[in-house]
Structure 1
């Protein structure tokens, strides 16, 4: 089978891949809980490091199943092995910079070894060769995460930060990543499902924030506002067939340009998109339980700043795939940050203000699209 023929074969996301995503639900839950417990700058920095480390290999598995469909027993078993590694990572997240650092490192090394081995052995010639050149960088970063798990927390942060730097630099040091074969329909759908998983955590945060509280008018209103905000995040990502346009524009590129666009638009852009959703979930969780009170600065910043981070990732995503104008989304970033002082006065008022900001954004974009 030629590389061109291999590239043209499209298929839908399999149920096994959806099952694989269940462990990512738990990972997002753990990261959200960890950040909710420690919203200090140090706590946020730790979440950013862990999320990027996890996403690098999680997205790596998206690239893997895009090139290697899980249609044999051996492939399915190996994917389950990778899923087990991700589960260990998720279990270690709450205390990854403490006593669970070793477990985090071991889980990450398992995930990496399964990914590289299956990719190189089962992908098409072009993708396998490209992965063989990328694998040393991935294994190097995994080695830093593994060794870092045995170090004191400060040096652990240094080692894991170095791993993140190596991940970011690796595609530019190894410029042959354009040889990866990208099936556009599957690739876009798979990343969209990851975003859905993260948005689901925001809805879970509403339930966790409301747990044990009396069902009164303020709780219902705050919960509905939280749901409306999550819906608006969904609309920003999926509305007006943005995913379909992303698929079309990605498919229209040359194979080399497609691989580079996939890396930047679905890798580097989706990291802030998912980080923003996690941070918003923390803000929503803190708001639900204190709707008629003021938020501390960290909680108000989680709401407004999380929304801004999400929008910044969206802006880069849309720019990289030439989906549409970002003028109003740039203005919405500023408006989202401007809601922070409102939260310092009244929590539910900031949540309502954010719903208004996104509502205006979506209405204006909708009218301009007509």
Structure 2
């Protein structure tokens, strides 16, 4: 669909909404850090998917329905309350508070449907099938919170399967997508999630003596977070926005938005969660050997982030895919280092990410330099 309004940007209320949503990311990281097992990791995968699906739903919503009236702002506040309660219930989403998570998730879905009713005719038409399908997935999550195992997990698995099918069943091309707003909204979530991960890591230092090991881990954690920012925001975010803006076919545009900013970003956020857990596991143990599971999540989280961003770039047919995949593979190779010495793995990861970013950036610097020389030559009346 043609760009409806290039000047539309993310409002401060939407940013406020994103801050509440990212609390769910923090809670998932805390939950995994406290019980680093395959079962908990599977639960994190399920919770993140259903929560991210509805966050994406709100991003698509405010892309078409600006929170510009009292009614819309009040409904959006209600949705924020639902996300907050969901986040509080996450540690026991498969236990005591499964029903609370389910009820708040249903509220989020109902509010989403009500807000879409205030949109234009095309958005309301898309919502006629999307709304009931979203409510059905929310009811599966709620039912999962009320029944015992194995039905609980079976219903939870059914919910994301229905959500994936929803992307193909309803008329996705009926959604209006403002590329600038859409890309900015998702970019803000990524940078907030990276920031929240630093806060979560910092909280792990509470009560510890700040020796050389602790300070080194803190600095390296910031170093790694900086390169997470670099890989996403050092130009690729703007290039991605331009690709979406230039995609004129409505169905292709909507499908690209769903796949690149929906599914690929799910992997990116999962990587941030897992990486934060891995770095937290090194706090207080910098000069000790990590258990294999801690070393695995430290490298695995960063590799997931890079693979997710590689998928994002591949979907948009942008450069940098091979750089990220190669960096992810080399980072995974550092796992044995962590099993010998935690700080050795963290230093190696930081150096690998730095080298990968610089190597990728060299051709861009050369092109910029050549352009600058050519411009100087033309301004001086010289041939290029």
Q: TM-score range by the shorter chain?
A: over 0.9
Q: Does 1:61 align with 2:55?
A: no
Cα deviations across residues 210-260 of structure 1 (Å, max 9, x unaligned)?
111112222111110111001111101101x11111111110001332111
Question: What is the TM-score when the length of structure 1 is the normalising length?
Answer: 0.95
Query: 2:370 corresponds to which residue?
Result: none
Query: 2:376 corresponds to which residue?
Result: none
Which of 311, 319, 325 is 1:316 aligned to? 311
Q: Does 1:32 align with 2:26?
A: no
Q: Deviation at 1:205?
A: 2.6
Write the distance in 1 (CA, Å) between the matches of 2:317 and 2:29: 32
Query: 1:170 corresponds to which residue?
Result: 166
**Which protein shows a greater Rg?**
2
Contact 2:2/2:245 (8 A) holds in 1: no
Q: Does 1:302 align with 2:283?
A: no
Q: Deviation at 1:4?
A: 6.1
Change over 3 Å in CA distance of 1:206–1:325 after alignment to 2: closer
Query: 1:72 corresponds to which residue?
Result: 69
Query: 1:248 corresponds to which residue?
Result: 242
Contact 2:290/2:340 (8 A) holds in 1: yes
Q: Deviation at 1:186?
A: 0.5
Write the distance in 2 (CA, Å) between the matches of 1:68 and 1:10: 15
Change over 3 Å in CA distance of 1:218–1:299 after alignment to 2: same
Contact 1:201/1:281 (8 A) holds in 2: no
Write the distance in 2 (CA, Å) between the matches of 1:38 and 1:164: 23
Cα deviations across residues 119-169 of structure 1 (Å, max 9, x unaligned)?
1x1222222211222122211111100111101143211101110111112
User: Helix, strand or coil: the match of 2:177?
Assistant: coil
Query: 2:49 corresponds to which residue?
Result: 52
Q: Deviation at 1:308?
A: 1.1
Write the distance in 1 (CA, Å) between the matches of 2:94 and 2:251: 39
Write the distance in 1 (CA, Å) between the matches of 2:340 and 2:55: 39
User: Helix, strand or coil: the match of 1:269?
Assistant: helix
Which of 334, 348, 351 is 1:353 aligned to? 348
Contact 2:288/2:341 (8 A) holds in 1: yes
Cα deviations across residues 155-194 of structure 1 (Å, max 9, x unaligned)?
21110111011111211233x2012110010101100110
Larger displacement relative to structure 2 (19-28 or 241-250)? 19-28
Q: Does 1:288 align with 2:289?
A: no
Query: 2:132 corresponds to which residue?
Result: 136
Q: Deviation at 1:9?
A: 5.8
Query: 2:369 corresponds to which residue?
Result: none
Matches within 5 A, 1:326-365: 326-365=321-360
Q: Deviation at 1:288?
A: 1.7
Which of 145, 152, 156 is 1:156 aligned to? 152
Change over 3 Å in CA distance of 1:64–1:195 after alignment to 2: same
Write the distance in 2 (CA, Å) between the matches of 1:218 and 1:33: 22
Question: What is the TM-score when the length of structure 2 is the normalising length?
Answer: 0.92
Q: Deviation at 1:10?
A: 3.6
Matches within 5 A, 1:158-307: 158-174=154-170, 176-239=171-234, 241-254=235-248, 255-307=250-302
Q: Deviation at 1:368?
A: 2.7
Write the distance in 2 (CA, Å) between the matches of 1:334 and 1:360: 14
Larger displacement relative to structure 2 (126-135 or 189-198)? 126-135
Write the distance in 2 (CA, Å) between the matches of 1:116 and 1:346: 51
Q: Does 1:84 align with 2:84?
A: no
User: Helix, strand or coil: the match of 1:294?
Assistant: coil
Which consecutive unaligned segments of at least 5 residues does structure 2 have? 367-384
Which consecutive unaligned segments of at least 5 residues does structure 1 have? none
Report how many aligned residue pairs link the two structures. Answer: 364
Change over 3 Å in CA distance of 1:123–1:9 after alignment to 2: farther
Write the distance in 2 (CA, Å) between the matches of 1:197 and 1:328: 24
Contact 1:205/1:284 (8 A) holds in 2: no
